[in-house]
Structures are given as structure tokens and as C-alpha cells.
């Protein structure tokens, strides 16, 4: 008898995975993303029929495609019976086992912690244990965050998360493969791991939820939690309401005059090119969220929700990619788009700013005073920071530009992507800037930094 097939659908820009499982004839899907065409194409390629779509929880980091996928295929849509949703679904409860085809059995296991109603799904092939789909519960070397439902629930949820990990470890064999939704860069993960595969047995050896007692796990996890993207606040309500399939057709094309009008109106006109290309020349007033980084995460984090967005890409394919990423977080229709380059996007000459390395910064500081702006998250800055640097996390910067000290401004992050975002906002505000496009480890190597336990004399504004 052939093995069951488990296909992973990666969404690396959000740090999430979805899964399609089949026996060669019928299939089920776990936690599909909003752009369901990827799943539909995979179903066609595998030559199988979708009968069930499972949600592990009401997601906080993306808009689900589960309801739209179920409607498009006629599949049953399984959501926890205790979740308050505005659409018809097939309610599922802890302990229920569903038969899918002749061989597959899926058992729902209540694993609260990431949310109160979170479910994991254990898969067997007849009676043979195969896998467990753990959503935001047991991740690779970590667990899902317990703080996304608000501080009033965090204490209860973090204790639930520890107990849920043990519930899975006790209920499943060591050979059972673990397939989480979060944990590949998603801010839904409490900590990050480089692992790409695991089993229950491996997690028993390496996951803090299974190697630490409850008190130590709770303390360490809560001490390590940092900021999470602001757009998360909009995801659970959208998912509970029942999102429709997205419209991925390109929006209207804008000329230079319209782009200027939109910028002056306070809308966001977003340049999708790399930070190197943006620094070398861009239309005045545009901001840079390159497609080569965590584009949707940071745009969704920084933007005042509901602000119209216009996309500027070198090609229509770039605009389409950006649009696909935005619908995953509920920004459904860009206001407009344009392709080409800054020469076509502005009636004025393109503007630019310099880039540099940490070695350049060290040399400059020997000759003159400059303001060093660290736009990493607060917890990153506390762990190791350039002496004298001011810390304004990039997700706070648009509303705090007036707080940034005057003077020649050198902007850095951990690798250059967030620094370019910050530099674009500061440059549009008329600041004289240099964007540091370098790895922070190079600042450490040349002695620009001190660690937290060395009493870093850094600034916070």
C-alpha cells in the first residue's frame, strides 16, 4: 500500500505553511491561505478531489482562504464548534474522528494556548499514526504566542499552551510527524527555530514546552515576548466574518500626475523595488517596501489601517506578487498601480540618498558627530546596540518622525531591509540620511556595539 501524500504550501513572506493531504483519490487541506488558487492548482496537479478543509484556529496573522476554498470545491469546512463565526460551517469538537476516503482518519484534539478554541488534528492511515497538524500549538522547538488575544488572557493561555504540548506528547507516538502552521518566521511563534521538519519524539527532546516544567516555561516564554504586527488586530474579526475569495486582477494604472496627487493626499505610494534600487533613485514622497523582504508583514504593521495603497513595480508581475501578498492580510484592492521606474512615476527628477556599511559608520564617527538611529525592535536593541544609538522601532517610526533627533542621520537595522523602509519615510520628511545596508554582526565584529549586560549607554526617544 502506498504512503499517504502530504504536500506543504509555503507562504514564506508571512512565515506560515498550509497542507494538502491525500490518498491518491480524495484530499483534505489544513489552514489554507487567502489565495486559494495555489491549492486549486495543486489539487489539479495531484488529480485528487478535496472533501474537507480544516481550520486549527481563528487566525491572527492572515486572512484565511478556508471558507472560499470549501465553497469553490464543495468540501466540508470544519471549524471548532465553540468558535463564534458568522457563516455556516461543519462544527468539530475535541475527540471527534472524521473518516476521509477509505484510509484516512483525522481526530480533533483540543489544544488551547494560542487561542482558547485551538484544535490540532491527528492523522492516521487506517490505524497507523502518521502526522499531527498543530497550527499554532506545538511548533518546531517552540510554541505559538499566548498573548495575541490581549493581556487579560495571556496568563491563562500560556499555561494552557504548556499543558496542550504535553497532551499531544502523551496522546501521540514518538514517530508521529509534526506539521505546524506557524514557526517559519511568523510573529505568531513565541520564538524562532531553523528546523524544517520534526516528530513528537524530537520535540520531546528539544521543545521547551516539553523539556521545562510549567513554571520555568511560563516565565521564559513571557520574558521573551516582543511586539507583534499591528495588522493582527484586524485578522481574527475578518476570519470570523467569513472572507470571500480575493480579486487578484490588477488595479487601474496611474500616471505621474495621479501618483503625485495621491502622495499629497496622504495616501501611500509604495515602491516595490529593492532597497539598493530605491536608494539610487525614486519618485519624491514614495516609500520603500521591497518585495525581496517581509513585504506584507511590515507594510501591514506600519500602515494606518484603511489608508489607500498604490503599488509601483518594475513589471506587472511585481505588482501582482505584491497584490497577492496584501490580500493575505486583508488589504484587498490597491487604489492604483504603475510599472516601469522612477522616471515614469514622477514629473520631477528622481531623488536619492546614500547607503553605507557599519565600517563606514565607524570611520565617520571618528571625524564628526552623527545621529545613529536603530530601527530594530526594542528587544533586539536591548540585547546588543551601537553605543549612543537612538532606538525607534520601524513599526513606530511613521508616527514618531518628529521625535528623531536633528542632525545627519545614519539609519540601521539587522540586515538593511527595515533600515530602507525607515529611510524612505525619513527622506520623504526632508531628513538628511544615510541608510546602512549591512549585517549587524559586522557592527559587532568591529566593536561598535555593547551588550545589554555591559550597560549599553543608548538612547530611547
Domain-by-domain residue ranges, the chain? 5-241, 256-345, 355-460
Report the pLDDT value the prediction gives residue 449, as an integer from 0 to 100: 84
Residues 6+ positions from 115 with CB-CB distance below 8 Å: 57, 58, 60, 136, 148, 149, 157
What lies within 8 Å, CB to CB, of 69 at 6+ separation is: 29, 32, 36, 39, 40, 50, 53, 75
Residue 19, pLDDT score: 98
- Please tell me the predicted confidence (pLDDT) of residue 195: 80
Q: How many CB atoms lie within 10 A of CB 234?
A: 17
Q: Largest Cα–Cα distance of the chain, in whole Å?
A: 75
What pLDDT, on a 0 to 100 scale, did the predictor assign at position 451? Answer: 62
| Closest-CA residue to 242 (of 16, 370, 23, 86) | 86
- The pLDDT value recorded for residue 249 is 95
Q: Cα separation of 168 and 302, whole Å?
A: 37
Per-residue pLDDT of the chain (461 residues; tens, 9 = 90+): 689 999 999 999 899 999 999 999 999 999 999 999 999 999 999 999 999 999 999 999 999 999 999 999 999 999 999 999 999 999 999 999 999 999 999 999 999 999 999 999 999 999 899 999 999 999 999 999 999 999 999 999 999 999 999 999 999 999 999 999 998 888 888 777 778 899 999 999 999 999 999 999 999 999 989 899 999 999 999 999 999 999 999 999 999 999 999 999 999 999 999 999 999 999 999 999 999 999 999 999 999 999 999 999 999 999 999 999 999 999 999 999 999 999 999 989 999 999 999 999 999 999 999 999 999 999 999 999 999 999 999 999 999 999 999 999 999 999 999 999 999 999 999 999 999 999 999 999 999 987 654 544 444 44
| Cβ contacts of 138 within 8 Å, gap of 6 or more | 111, 120, 132, 164, 165, 168, 169, 178, 180, 203, 207, 209
Q: Do domains 5-241 and 256-345 have the same CATH topology?
A: no
| Length of the chain in terms of residues written | 461
Domain 256-345 architecture: 3-Layer(aba) Sandwich (3.40)
Q: Which of 99, 175, 152, 140 is nearest to 15 (CA)?
A: 140
CATH of region 355-460: 3.40.250.10
* Residue-level pLDDT at 460: 45
CA-based nearest residue to 59, from 333, 246, 276, 329: 329
3.90.1150.10, 3.30.499.10, 1.10.150.120, 3.60.15.10: CATH of 5-241: 3.60.15.10
399 burial level (CB within 10 Å; 0-12, 13-18, 19+): exposed
Give residue 194's pLDDT. Answer: 74
Q: Which letter, b or e, does each residue of 279-316 get, where b requires 16 or more Cβ atoms within 10 Å of its Cβ?
A: bebbbbbbbbbbbebbbbbbbbbbbeeeebbbbbbbee
Amino acid at each position: 500500500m502506498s504512503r499517504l501524500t502530504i504536500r506543504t504550501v509555503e507562504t514564506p513572506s508571512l512565515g506560515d505553511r498550509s497542507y494538502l493531504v491525500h490518498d491518491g483519490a480524495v484530499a483534505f487541506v489544513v489552514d489554507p491561505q487567502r489565495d486559494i488558487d495555489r491549492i486549486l492548482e495543486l489539487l489539479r496537479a495531484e488529480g485528487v478531489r478535496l472533501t474537507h478543509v480544516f481550520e486549527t484556529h481563528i487566525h491572527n496573522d492572515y486572512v484565511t482562504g478556508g471558507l472560499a476554498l470549501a465553497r469553490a470545491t464543495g468540501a466540508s469546512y470544519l471549524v471548532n464548534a465553540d468558535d463564534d463565526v458568522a457563516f455556516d460551517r461543519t462544527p468539530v469538537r475535541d475527540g471527534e474522528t472524521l473518516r476521509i476516503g477509505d484510509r484516512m482518519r483525522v481526530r480533533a484534539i483540543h489544544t488551547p494556548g494560542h487561542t482558547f478554541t485551538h484544535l490540532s488534528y491527528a492523522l492516521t492511515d487506517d490505524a497507523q499514526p502518521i502526522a499531527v497538524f498543530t497550527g499554532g500549538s506545538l511548533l518546531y522547538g517552540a510554541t505559538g504566542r499566548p498573548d495575541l488575544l490581549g493581556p487579560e488572557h495571556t496568563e491563562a493561555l500560556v499555561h494552557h499552551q504548556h499543558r496542550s504540548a504535553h497532551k499531544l506528547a502523551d496522546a501521540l507516538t514518538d514517530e508521529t510527524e509534526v506539521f505546524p502552521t506557524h514557526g517559519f518566521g511568523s510573529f505568531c511563534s513565541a520564538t524562532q527555530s531553523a528546523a524544517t521538519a520534526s516528530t513528537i519524539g524530537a520535540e520531546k527532546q528539544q521543545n521547551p514546552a516539553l523539556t521545562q516544567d510549567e513554571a520555568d516555561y511560563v516565565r521564559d516564554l513571557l520574558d521573551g515576548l516582543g511586539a507583534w504586527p499591528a495588522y493582527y488586530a484586524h485578522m481574527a474579526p475578518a476570519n470570523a466574518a467569513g472572507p470571500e475569495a480575493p480579486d487578484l486582477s490588477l488595479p487601474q494604472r496611474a500616471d505621474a500626475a495621479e501618483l503625485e496627487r495621491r502622495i499629497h493626499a496622504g495616501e501611500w505610494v509604495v515602491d516595490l523595488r529593492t532597497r539598493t534600487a530605491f536608494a539610487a533613485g525614486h519618485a519624491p514622497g514614495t516609500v520603500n517596501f521591497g518585495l525581496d523582504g517581509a513585504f506584507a508583514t511590515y507594510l501591514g504593521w506600519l500602515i494606518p489601517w484603511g489608508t489607500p495603497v498604490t503599488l509601483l513595480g518594475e513589471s506587472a508581475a511585481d505588482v501582482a506578487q505584491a497584490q497577492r501578498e496584501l490580500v493575505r492580510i486583508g488589504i484587498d484592492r490597491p487604489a492604483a498601480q504603475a510599472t516601469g521606474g522612477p522616471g515614469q512615476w514622477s514629473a520631477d527628477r528622481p531623488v536619492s540618498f546614500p547607503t553605507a556599511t557599519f565600517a563606514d559608520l565607524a570611520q565617520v564617527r571618528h571625524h564628526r558627530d552623527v545621529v545613529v538611529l536603530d530601527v530594530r525592535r526594542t528587544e533586539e536593541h536591548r540585547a546588543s546596540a551601537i553605543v549612543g544609538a537612538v532606538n525607534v522601532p520601524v513599526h513606530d517610526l511613521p508616527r514618531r518622525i518628529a521625535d528623531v533627533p536633528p542632525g545627519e542621520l545614519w539609519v540601521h537595522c539587522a540586515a538593511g531591509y527595515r533600515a530602507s523602509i525607515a529611510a524612505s519615510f525619513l527622506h520623504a520628511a526632508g531628513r538628511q540620511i544615510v541608510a546602512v545596508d549591512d549585517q549587524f554582526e559586522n557592527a559587532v565584529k568591529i566593536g561598535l556595539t555593547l551588550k545589554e549586560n555591559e550597560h549599553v549607554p543608548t538612547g530611547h526617544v
